[in-house]
Amino acid sequence: MQPPQEPEKWEGVREAVKDGVICPQRNIFIKSLFFLAGEEDCLYLNVYTPKVNATSDLLPVMVFYHGGAWVTGSGNSKYYPPEYLLDKDVVLVSIEYRLGPLGFLSMEDEELPGNLGLKDQVQSLKWIQKNIKSFGGNPDLVTIFGESAGGASVHYHMLSPMSRGLFHRAISQSGTGMCSWALGAPGVTRNNTIKLAKVLGCPSSPTRDMIACLRKKPFGEIITTDVEFMVWNKGPMIPFKPVVEKSRDGFIPQHPEDATRAGKLAKVPWMTGVNSGEGAMGAAAFYDDEKLVKEFDEKFNELVPIIFFLHREKGLDVQEAARQIRRFYFGGKPVDNSTVNRVVDLYTDAWFLAGADEAVRLSYEYAKAPVYYYYFSYRGSASFSSIFGDVKQDMGTCHADELIYLFPMERLFPDVKFSEKDEEYIKIFVDLWTNFARTG
């Protein structure tokens, strides 16, 4: 529960041909993976390069931050194989960072300010600046890119004084710091941290005593407190989010909107966007269960404020807001199989599109650098909607589907035969992303 440290030096040749361990977690999005995995000694990064020991013609560097709601995921090659990007002569770096309470506990004070997982990411960027030449990479041409929570992480790096000068381009896929799930409202993460401590029998104050107690707990006990925060179908997601820190030297010293208006956004080219059916992630998670669909319909006004974080809006009558949301998306219709596309739209708008749109508009108005906004609507042979839930219907271009065209995903979709059209989109995506890394 401390900021990351410089790695210790070693002598001789260090074997670095296998993935490191993943950080402690359990996957709240995939039912078959809802088990404890990972180890605490997990702050490793993977470097993939077409050439080593280059002294000239250094290659663009692309640094990838994985998604997973800052709760689950990994950057290793089992999740994100490098072949597509390496074919375009770039150096790819993917990293591990602390997740869940181990990475995002916060008492919103100086003892436990929060954002440790994001500070792990900063440490990786510092390492890259010092060492990437040894792998043929250009430290003056670094693009950070990420998806979902990784995309929001990228946006935070653009706003953070701790990351200034460590990268030169940025891509946020399906996630910005202005998404409804991306920032803890004042006091919420603190209250959740106190709740976690009490569940584990630790004092809630002073903070240093809480930390000392939690450090003695096995990480598995800390991670598996996640069930204490689940209200409906493993939601609301992300009880431990990034927070605004009280220190001006913190990773997030100011609300993203205020920081953008104040001209704090890094002056680097930024590309961001969304998929047309992002919300299939949310819909697929319960549309394979008739009981959950019925509950969503019958308890709509109760569940919507929780699922979509309406309580973060000060002064908002959340019950009236829920009623208006129901009228807008469903009219007088019930939530059932006939309205699945409207449920997808609701999740898309609330979790992704609203935050992306706000971030782009503010960036365009206040930033002094190019901003590019994409909208992806191709539904290929494979879709992450089949992973988020066992659903058969076409829910559109799901959250994370663009990753299929940036990283080889045969392991996740072993029964899918990719079409010629899929291959065309792989070429388009890889060209777009690597060209942006080269030229901005």
DSSP letters spanning 162-210: GGTTS-SEEEEES--TTSTTSSPPTTHHHHHHHHHHHHTT---SSHHHH
228 included as an active-site residue: no
Handedness of CA 64, 68, 70, 73 (dihedral sign): negative
**Of 21-35, 204-218, 395-409, minimum mean pLDDT range:** 21-35
Asked, as a colleague might, if the bond just before 7 is cis with ω within 30 of 0, I would say no
- Say if residue 206 is preceded by a cis peptide, omega within 30 of 0: yes
Instruction: Specify whether the CB–CB gap between 60 and 434 falls below 8 A.
Output: yes
Determine the pLDDT at residue 32: 61
pLDDT at residue 286 in the model: 93
Catalytic residue among 108, 278, 363, 385: 278
In this predicted model, what pLDDT tens digit does every residue of 400-427 receive, in sequence order?
999 999 999 988 999 999 999 999 999 9
pLDDT in tens, 106-135: 999 999 999 999 999 999 999 999 999 999
What is the pLDDT, as a whole number, of residue 313?
78
Distance between CA atoms of 281 and 343, rounded to whole angstroms?
A: 10
Residue whose structure tokens are 């003695």: 216
Select the more confidently predicted residue: 68 or 8: 68
CA distance 128 to 139: 7
The Cα–Cα gap between 354 and 177 comes to 11
In the chain, count of helices (H) and strands (E)? Answer: 16, 7
Q: Could you give the 3-state DSSP secondary structure of residue 42? A: coil
pTM value is: 0.96
Helix or strand (DSSP H, E) at 65: strand 59-65
Q: Which of 77, 148, 276, 385 is catalytic?
A: 148
Indicate the average pLDDT of the chain.
94
Cα separation, 1 vs 213, in Å, equals 11
Question: Is-catalytic flag, 148?
Answer: yes
- Contact present, 166 and 126 (Cβ < 8 Å): yes
Angstrom distance (rounded) from CA 154 to CA 56:
29
Domains of the chain: 31-194+228-287+348-439 (3.40.50.1820)
In whole angstroms, give the CA distance from residue 7 to residue 296: 48
pLDDT value at position 52? 74
Q: In this structure, what token pair is assigned to residue 381? A: 């042979």
Taking the C-alpha atoms of residue 308 and residue 346, their distance in angstroms, rounded to an integer, is: 9
Does the pLDDT of residue 235 top 90, yes or no?
Answer: no
Which of 106, 108, 399, 402 is labelled catalytic?
Answer: 399
Residue 332 confidence (pLDDT): 86
Q: Where are the alpha helices (DSSP H) in 205-337?
A: 207-215, 219-223, 256-261, 280-284, 290-298, 300-307, 318-330
What are the percentages of helix, strand and coil residues in the chain, rounded to 5?
40, 10, 50
Would residue 290 show up in a list of annotated catalytic residues for this protein?
A: no
- Residue 361 structure tokens: 């508009």
Q: What share of the chain has pLDDT > 70, as a percent?
A: 98
**Is residue 33 over pLDDT 80?**
no
Identify the residue with better confidence: 368 or 432: 432
